Structure 1
């Protein structure tokens, strides 16, 4: 596949992911999800208690671990978002719109 097209697709997906991620910071949709609220409350409770129960150095390690876990989750979410967009654009058999170009595009992207 043409490198310009590949870069265009990658940049469009990255830009849209970052835009959605930014918008979600101001959204109350997640906060209305009970499981989300429960997990946030539990996480805050645990971190607050750990800060008073363990030595400062250990707490710093726990916080660093938490930060790394969050970063890994973001990378995974971005990866699966990209794969979902690619699949949505290339798995069009159900519409009868699959062309040799879309098949080649999918094969090239998944290399």
Structure 2
């Protein structure tokens, strides 16, 4: 059976903070949405979960040695999101733009978190 160890580090705190900062900038400044459209507590909890998952992927399955590795990991995770969620979100042609914006956000948040986990791993 697989053994998963959860560890807490400064890199994970930085990943959660920078990931949430990226999301706030993405949705509130770029698309002018209100805070009420996003539950901040659930967003932070989701960021914590994503940081643990990304940390496990980077530690066990995908080593990140440079920025290109972080980009490729984020691209593959973004493609995974597209494949899993597109049947549920694409009903009309105009939905494609909104869905691609969300998929680009998923790529961006994964990249920010992977890069910060790699950059702050020695602190």
TM-score, normalised relative to structure 2: 0.34
TM-score, normalised relative to structure 1: 0.37
Q: Which has the higher contact order (CA 8 A, sep 6+)?
A: 2
